[in-house]
Amino acid sequence: MAESWVHALLLLVCVPLTLTSGTGTGTGTRHRNISISLNPGHPDPPGGDLLYVRAVGPNDSLHILFCSQGAPTLLLIHSNSTEATVKVDWDDFLSRNSSGSVTVVPEGSVVYSDSLVLSRVWEYNDGNDTADPADPGSDLFPPYELQDVTWSQFNLSTLSALLCGVYRDSNGTICVQLSVFESWGRSELWPRLLHNPDSAQLAFWLDGLTPRSAHSRFLLELTAVGGAPLETVRTVRSIDDEFTPSIFTVSQWLSNSSVLAPAPGPSPGFVQWKPVAYRKPAATLEVATPVRYRPPRQQDPVSAANASKLIFGFYGNDTPTSGINISFGLSGEPFYGSTNYLSWTLLVGVGDPPLDSFSALVWSILAVGLGTPLLLLLVGGVWVCVRKLSAAAPTAYEPIN
Tell me which residues touch ligand NAG (CB under 6 A).
29, 33, 56-59, 80, 95, 97-98, 108-109, 111, 122, 127-128, 133, 135-137, 140, 147, 155, 162, 169-171, 210, 219, 221, 231-232, 256, 258-259, 294, 297, 302-303, 306, 323-325
Element (H, E) at 352: none
Instruction: Please identify the residue of the shown chain whose CB is closest to the bound ligand NAG.
Output: 323
**Triad 9, 14, 17: Cα angle to 5°:** 145
- Per-residue b or e along 219-232, where b marks 16 or more CB atoms closer than 10 Å to that residue's CB: bbbbbbbbbbbbbe
Q: Which is nearer to ligand NAG, 136 or 369 (CB)?
A: 136
Q: Which is nearer to ligand NAG, 193 or 222 (CB)?
A: 222
Q: How far is the CB of 302 from ligand NAG (least distance, A)?
A: 5
Q: How far is the CB of 314 from ligand NAG (least distance, A)?
A: 17
Is the separation of the CB atoms in 159 and 34 below 8 Å? Answer: yes
Q: Which is nearer to ligand NAG, 33 or 235 (CB)?
A: 33
Residue partners of 6: CB distance under 8 A and separation at least 6: 371, 372, 375
Q: How far is the CB of 284 from ligand NAG (least distance, A)?
A: 20
Q: Quote the CA–CA distance of 114 and 269 in Å, as a whole number.
A: 7
Radius of gyration of the chain from Cα atoms? 27
Q: How far is the CB of 115 from ligand NAG (least distance, A)?
A: 15
Q: Which is nearer to ligand NAG, 136 or 399 (CB)?
A: 136
Residue partners of 286: CB distance under 8 A and separation at least 6: none
Q: How far is the CB of 278 from ligand NAG (least distance, A)?
A: 18
Residue partners of 247: CB distance under 8 A and separation at least 6: 191, 241, 274, 275, 276, 288
Question: What are φ and ψ of residue 73, in 5° steps?
Answer: -135, 135
Q: Quote the CA–CA distance of 23 and 15 in Å, as a whole number.
A: 15
Amino acid letter, residue 31: H
Q: Which is nearer to ligand NAG, 91 or 380 (CB)?
A: 91
Q: How far is the CB of 106 from ligand NAG (least distance, A)?
A: 9
| Closest CA relative to residue 124, chosen from 209, 211, 205, 222 | 211
Looking at residue 335, what DSSP letter applies? P
Question: What are φ and ψ of residue 244, in 5° steps?
Answer: -130, 90
Q: How far is the CB of 162 from ligand NAG (least distance, A)?
A: 6
Residue 329's Cβ-side half-sphere holds a number of Cα atoms within 13 Å equal to 28
Q: Which is nearer to ligand NAG, 288 or 346 (CB)?
A: 346
Q: Distance between terminal CA atoms of the chain?
A: 40
Q: Which is nearer to ligand NAG, 293 or 363 (CB)?
A: 293
Q: How far is the CB of 319 from ligand NAG (least distance, A)?
A: 15
Is the separation of the CB atoms in 64 and 200 below 8 Å? Answer: yes
Q: How far is the CB of 363 from ligand NAG (least distance, A)?
A: 28
Q: How far is the CB of 238 from ligand NAG (least distance, A)?
A: 22
Q: Which is nearer to ligand NAG, 56 or 77 (CB)?
A: 56
- Per-residue b or e along 235-244, where b marks 16 or more CB atoms closer than 10 Å to that residue's CB: eeebebbebb
Q: Which is nearer to ligand NAG, 272 or 359 (CB)?
A: 272
Q: Which is nearer to ligand NAG, 301 or 362 (CB)?
A: 301
| Closest CA relative to residue 323, chosen from 197, 229, 248 | 229
